[in-house]
Amino acid sequence: MASKNTPPVCNYEGSDYQTSFWDQGGREYEDRTEAIALKRLLPKSGRLMLELGAGAGRNTPRYAGFERVVLLDYSRTQLQQAQARLGKSDRYVFVAADVYRLPFVDGLFDGATMIRTLHHMADAPRALAQIRNVLQPGSVFILEFASKLNLKSILRYWLGRQKWSPFSQEPVEFAELNFDFHPKAVREWLQEIGFRIEKTLTVSHFRLDLLKRLVPIDILVALDSLAQWTGSLWQLTPSVFVRARVARNAIPHHIPGEVIQWFKCPECGRTPLESKRDHLYCSSCDSQWAIRDGIYDFREPLNN
């Protein structure tokens, strides 16, 4: 991968993340507060949504307003779990790819989400620029990121129990390929590449084990739901959601009905690719991209 000069990616291949973190990890509070934030930010309807870092498809059913959804993840095994959860249908298209080398034609999607994923990006501005490229004029992009400027890190910093400052704008890598970002830095990156920020919600105000043990979850969720609106004033939670929009400075493009017309070769940029029995073929650079069990795999060409 070094030859392609893209940043390292965090790979959940073979991970039981969905089970250990979400299903058995006492994360009902986080899941429900995220659902509320998404509902507030999602457009009522849309045609083609790109879900970046879709994982096992936990959030995918929440995009019911969109006619079709492309689930993108670097890990095939996560996408297989998503297939098992959602079923195989025309509505969902499963793509294994690197966010720094998106295999889609420019201006394809009219909506995108990236939840709990920027967290793993060593070069966040570069990833965001890739996403911007594949969005149509007027599209909505919903981004969740982990904020370094949260109350817990501020307290720890003031008490001398944490070296890095939560107030400085550069990202902090608190574990390998796990980054927290300053809300102002994220806003500036989005604006620099042509997004306008429409709404900011703060989420998970009460992400403390002690609270989660003492207070009934329905109450915590209701309180968080109210507090989310303060996101437009200040952001001191570990999780922040923003809704950003691409300027509607041109007429939105037609979205081809055929999935194969959505793709470009991530190696050389050629489009369209040719459909072969079990792969897509690029006639410019000779790359073959596998299609296995309903998953398009654009990570490494078959004939590499």
As measured in angstroms, the least distance from the Cβ of 96 to Zn ion is 17
As measured in angstroms, the least distance from the Cβ of 285 to Zn ion is 3
Indicate the residue among 191 and 284 with the shorter CB distance to Zn ion: 284
Applying the rule CB under 5 A, the residues between 250 and 289 that interact with Zn ion are 265, 267-268, 270, 282, 284-285, 287
Residue the block writes with tokens 């149509």: 136
DSSP string across the chain = -GGGT-------TT--HIIIIIITTT-HHHHHHHHHHHHHHS-S-EEEEEEET-TTTSSGGGGTTEEEEEEEES-HHHHHHHHHHH-S-TTEEEEE--GGG--B-TT-EEEEEE-S-GGG-TTHHHHHHHHHHTEEEEEEEEEEEEBSS-HHHHHHHHTT--SS-TTSSS-EEEETTEEEB-HHHHHHHHHHTTEEEEEEEEE-TT--HHHHHHS-HHHHHHHHHHHGGGGGT---SSEEEEEEEE---SPPPPPPSSGGGGB--TTT---SPEE-SSEEE-TTT--EEEEETTEEE-SS-TT-
As measured in angstroms, the least distance from the Cβ of 265 to Zn ion is 3
Indicate the residue among 83 and 287 with the shorter CB distance to Zn ion: 287
Indicate the residue among 27 and 270 with the shorter CB distance to Zn ion: 270
Applying the rule CB under 5 A, the residues between 7 and 46 that interact with Zn ion are none
As measured in angstroms, the least distance from the Cβ of 279 to Zn ion is 13
Assess 303 for contact with Zn ion (CB under 5 A): no
Indicate the residue among 219 and 285 with the shorter CB distance to Zn ion: 285
- Surface-to-core class of residue 214, CB atoms within 10 Å of its CB (0-12 exposed, 13-18 middle, 19+ buried): exposed
As measured in angstroms, the least distance from the Cβ of 146 to Zn ion is 35
Indicate the residue among 225 and 288 with the shorter CB distance to Zn ion: 288
Indicate the residue among 84 and 285 with the shorter CB distance to Zn ion: 285
As measured in angstroms, the least distance from the Cβ of 301 to Zn ion is 8
Indicate the residue among 181 and 296 with the shorter CB distance to Zn ion: 296
As measured in angstroms, the least distance from the Cβ of 131 to Zn ion is 21
Q: Which residues bind Zn ion (CB under 5 A)?
A: 265, 267-268, 270, 282, 284-285, 287
